[in-house]
Structure 1
Amino acid sequence: MYTKNFKAGVQYDDYTGTLAADNADLINIKQELIKVGLINENEFVIGLDFYPLGKYSGQDKEITVDYYILDDFNFEEFRDQIRSGIKPTVRKVNQDLTFREFFDLFKRFNGTLSLKGLIDQIDIDVTE
């Protein structure tokens, strides 16, 4: 077991930002993971972490996804535990996907990056 700060990061963090995604209508991440035998019915995907495999990997799959899993998840109880400072223990499973398979998990997917996070989550005036 090890501790992970659940935040995106790379070696130099030249650009940092935020991501947001909506669940897909036709594909449910939990059901997909049950179908391939990575989780069971009483488990819940609480988070995911993803990164490209690299153009020199020689694999057909292009992205690795780490899923963070909780057993018998209750949203309100979990939120209250986090707020009270209790560090959760989660199980990690992973899966290699094509970019298409990955983005098909979501209805909408949006990301922002800014140099060293300088304009992260602030109002900016934009001209075109």
Structure 2
Amino acid sequence: MSFKAGVQYGDFEGSAAADRADKNDLGDYLRSNGLMQAGEFLVAVELWVGENHGGKVTQPSIQAVVVDAPDYEGAVRDVLNQEPVPVRKIDLPISLDQFLGLFKRFAVTLTIRGGDLSRKDYREV
């Protein structure tokens, strides 16, 4: 498995970025709901929405990815240097609205596969 997003045909590719919420971010949600244990550190989150037929969006699959390490500065870096990285995935039983609410800002850009647009600027005409 990989930390890179992928779908069956990959017609569009892209990038995503997010800012943690100032209060009640994803880590806080995991801790307050007993989903992340002491000594674990959140390193990734996966959002998957699929098999949408007729324009109706299904319940997304949302998983937090944690490693067994208490702090970013030391132990987490050591874990992330392993190949493959040993992780634990946590299913999050939340709606898309609840998930997005755990971030201050959330951006996704998708571009046509093979266009190599990720390194280009654009201007509106």
TM-score range, shorter chain: 0.7 to 0.9
Q: Does 1:19 align with 2:19?
A: no
The amino acid across from 2:88 in the alignment is R
CA distance in 1, matches of 2:123, 2:71: 41
Gaps of 5+ in 2: none
Shift of 1:48: 0.8
TM-score under structure 2 length normalisation: 0.80
Q: Does 1:9 align with 2:6?
A: yes
User: 1:1-128, aligned counterparts within 5 Å?
Assistant: 4-52=1-49, 62-77=59-74, 78-79=76-77, 82=80, 86-128=83-125
Query: Compared with structure 1, are the counterparts of its residues 36 and 55 closer, same or farther at alpha carbon in structure 2 (3 Å cutoff)?
Result: farther
TM-score under structure 1 length normalisation: 0.78
CA shift digits 1:37-87 (9 cap, x unpaired): 21123211110111126668xxxx83221111112244344445645x632
CA distance in 1, matches of 2:35, 2:77: 25
Gaps of 5+ in 1: none
Shift of 1:107: 0.4
User: Which aligned runs of 4 or more in structure 1 are off by greater than 4 angstroms?
Assistant: 53-56, 80-83
CA distance in 1, matches of 2:15, 2:85: 22
Query: Compared with structure 1, are the counterparts of its residues 63 and 40 closer, same or farther at alpha carbon in structure 2 (3 Å cutoff)?
Result: same
Number of aligned residues? 120
The amino acid across from 2:61 in the alignment is T
Q: Identity, % of aligned pairs?
A: 29
- Does the 8 A contact of 2:18 with 2:103 survive in 1? yes
Query: Compared with structure 1, are the counterparts of its residues 35 and 111 closer, same or farther at alpha carbon in structure 2 (3 Å cutoff)?
Result: same
